[in-house]
């Protein structure tokens, strides 16, 4: 019995303590206040310019029913809650529980106004304990520049943070932002994304599945399947820093820049695109892929790849700097620097360029590769042009001249014109491969005809040729190589992955 009495006493003390902590809703002023026990016992009827106070918040309305027993109030007509210096909540009706400090605001238009933003809906919960407002029947948030809509949302008044869910749309004069979920901070005007998000602008679109975007500075960080897309170009990466005002995109890790007009792809671990300034570049395992017909694409690696654009965002030139190496099934090469001009579809190789085609090694001071309809069309070699192929362990077929022009058919060289100071040293063999001798010839020009196997099939000398056929044993050792001869075996890429070696 004593234990039971002690328990009852403790419960009474807890109840008394709770009641002491919970303040009653207080009527500040009104035109009229009365009780009607016949209609509603214990409920006070307040009419005309009513003002109530509860723990620092003020409630305004035309009329109200105040139940002091349960510490609850129902407000009607031009209702408003004012909390702090900046927050005001408007509607047609408010149901407010003093013990839980939760308000339910309904009306044709329910408005929450807080300093720089206004939230509009038709049904809103406002919890003064957590300083959070919540709606689930659709809401609109407006500020000076932005308009946000969503099906569901929270607003944390102390953090100045909105959390939106389900069909989130942010609009302003510059772009439209679409997302599954978004956090928006009113003071910094920054949106955070945690799901698939698209930002549609006038000139380009952004996409990511995680990141943030400052709507004031137009700077953002896109992560997880990040993309920056315009009519001519797509930038992707593990993460992208984007500056809309300066039209700059910077990609980090697994970066790809795709030129959709010229079918050129730049890959690397760091890249930038400056559209207003008209250039972009790629570094850190930079790789350019020039997509051609019949899957005979060109794979090119260099320390740095740089592209320039015109005012219409078309790629004008692609530069490759230092340790350039490229591979395609029908042709491989390397040099120190390279320039690709999209207008003429010309690949220019500078500083010790070398090209391999089948069994043939081609070198010159400068080499130009021309393409047409996405296929190799012509090859030009300028100054000290040289073609070498191995005949035996220490024997090499050699042709040199001032300039050479190679013609392609189905990406294979079938003819080479040598112009100016043409020289050749060729091992002549019978059909059974038996050696006849070594032919050394000099002429102004000559024409080389290549077989489908990439080997020399026929040589035609033009303009006063001088030719001598030596038995191999009578060929002087110093005559086995033409002047400027060099044989480069190390470095030739035999597959596309070898461009990084």
Specify the pLDDT at position 294: 60
**Is residue 439 over pLDDT 60?**
yes
* CA-based radius of gyration for the chain: 40
90-93-95 Cα angle (round to 5): 105
Q: Which two tokens stand for residue 84?
A: 């702090």
Specify the pLDDT at position 9: 39
**Is residue 198 over pLDDT 90?**
yes
**Is residue 21 over pLDDT 70?**
no
Taking the C-alpha atoms of residue 464 and residue 444, their distance in angstroms, rounded to an integer, is: 7
Measured CA distances, 266 to 203, 340, 368, 369, 492 (Å): 21, 13, 21, 20, 22
Share of the chain above pLDDT 70, in %: 94
Q: Is 18 helix (H, G, I), strand (E, B) or coil?
A: helix
Helices (H), 178-292: none
Specify the pLDDT at position 181: 94
Taking the C-alpha atoms of residue 419 and residue 404, their distance in angstroms, rounded to an integer, is: 6
Taking the C-alpha atoms of residue 493 and residue 454, their distance in angstroms, rounded to an integer, is: 17
Reported confidence tier of residue 5, pLDDT bands at 50, 70, 90: very low
pLDDT single digits (tens) 35-78: 876 666 778 999 999 999 999 899 999 999 999 889 999 999 99
What residue segments make up the domains of the chain, in order of their start?
Answer: 23-103
pLDDT single digits (tens) 136-181: 999 999 998 899 999 999 999 989 999 999 999 999 999 999 999 9
Instruction: Give the mean model confidence (pLDDT) for residues 356-371.
Output: 91
More confident residue, 374 or 29: 29
More confident residue, 380 or 11: 380
More confident residue, 171 or 357: 171
Taking the C-alpha atoms of residue 283 and residue 303, their distance in angstroms, rounded to an integer, is: 6
**Is residue 15 over pLDDT 60?**
no
Residue-wise DSSP of 56-79? TEEEEEEEEEEETTTTEEEEEEEE
pLDDT single digits (tens) 289-333: 988 766 678 999 999 999 998 888 888 999 999 999 999 988 899
* Residue 200 burial (C-beta neighbours within 10 Å; 0-12, 13-18, 19+): middle
**Is residue 20 over pLDDT 50?**
no
Specify the pLDDT at position 474: 84
Specify the pLDDT at position 39: 62
Q: Minimal CA–CA distance to 135: which of 99, 166, 178, 159?
A: 166
The phi, psi pair for 386, rounded to 5°, reads -145, 135
CB 457 within 8 Å of CB 442: no
Specify the pLDDT at position 296: 75
Taking the C-alpha atoms of residue 213 and residue 205, their distance in angstroms, rounded to an integer, is: 13
The distance of Cα 52 from the centroid of its chain, to the nearest Å, equals 54
Specify the pLDDT at position 37: 67
Average pLDDT, the chain: 88
pLDDT single digits (tens) 236-257: 999 999 999 999 999 999 999 9
């Amino acid at each position: 019995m004593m234990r039971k009495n002690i328990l009852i006493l403790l419960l009474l003390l807890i109840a008394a303590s709770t009641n002491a902590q919970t303040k009653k809703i207080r009527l500040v002023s009104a035109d009229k206040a009365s009780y009607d026990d016949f209609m509603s016992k214990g409920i006070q009827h307040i009419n005309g310019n009513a003002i109530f106070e509860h723990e620092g918040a003020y409630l305004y309305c035309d009329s109200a029913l105040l139940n002091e027993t349960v510490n609850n109030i129902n407000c009607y007509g031009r209702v408003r809650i004012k909390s702090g210096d900046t927050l005001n909540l408007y509607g047609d009706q408010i149901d407010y529980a003093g013990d839980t400090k939760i308000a339910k605001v309904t009306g044709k238009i329910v408005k929450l106004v807080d300093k720089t933003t206004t939230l509009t809906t038709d049904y809103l919960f406002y919890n003064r304990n957590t300083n959070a407002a919540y709606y689930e029947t659709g809401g609109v948030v407006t500020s000076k520049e932005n308009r946000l809509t969503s099906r569901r949302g929270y607003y944390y008044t102390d953090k100045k943070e909105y959390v939106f869910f389900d069909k989130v749309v942010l609009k302003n004069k510059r772009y439209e932002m679409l997302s599954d979920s978004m956090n928006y901070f009113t003071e910094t005007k920054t949106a955070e994304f945690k799901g698939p998000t698209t930002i549609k602008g006038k000139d380009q679109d952004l996409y990511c599945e995680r990141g943030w975007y400052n709507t004031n500075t137009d700077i953002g960080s896109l992560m997880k399947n990040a993309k920056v897309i315009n009519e001519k170009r797509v930038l992707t990466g593990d993460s992208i820093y984007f500056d809309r005002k300066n039209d700059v995109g910077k990609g980090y890790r697994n970066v790809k820049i795709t030129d959709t007009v010229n079918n050129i792809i730049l890959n690397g671990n760091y890249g930038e695109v400056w559209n207003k300034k008209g250039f972009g570049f790629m570094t850190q395992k930079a790789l350019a892929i020039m997509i051609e017909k019949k899957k005979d694409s060109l794979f090119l690696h260099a320390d740095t790849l740089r592209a320039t654009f015109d005012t219409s965002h078309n790629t004008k030139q692609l530069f490759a700097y230092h340790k350039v190496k490229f591979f395609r099934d029908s042709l491989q090469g390397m040099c120190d620097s390279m320039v690709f001009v999209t207008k003429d579809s010309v690949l220019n190789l500078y500083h010790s360029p070398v090209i391999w085609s089948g069994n043939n090694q081609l070198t010159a001071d400068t080499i130009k590769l021309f393409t047409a309809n996405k296929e190799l069309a012509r090859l030009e070699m300028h100054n000290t042009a040289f073609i070498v192929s191995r005949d035996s362990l220490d024997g090499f077929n050699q042709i040199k001249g001032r300039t050479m022009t190679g013609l392609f058919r189905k990406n294979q060289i079938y003819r080479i014109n040598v112009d100016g100071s043409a020289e050749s040293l060729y091992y002549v063999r019978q059909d059974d491969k038996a050696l006849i001798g070594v032919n050394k010839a000099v002429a102004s020009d000559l024409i080389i005809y290549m077989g489908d196997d990439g080997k020399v099939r026929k040589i035609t000398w033009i303009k006063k040729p001088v030719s001598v056929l030596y038995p191999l044993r009578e060929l002087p050792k110093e005559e086995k190589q033409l002047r400027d001869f060099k044989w480069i075996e190390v470095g030739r890429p035999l597959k596309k992955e070898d461009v990084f070696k």
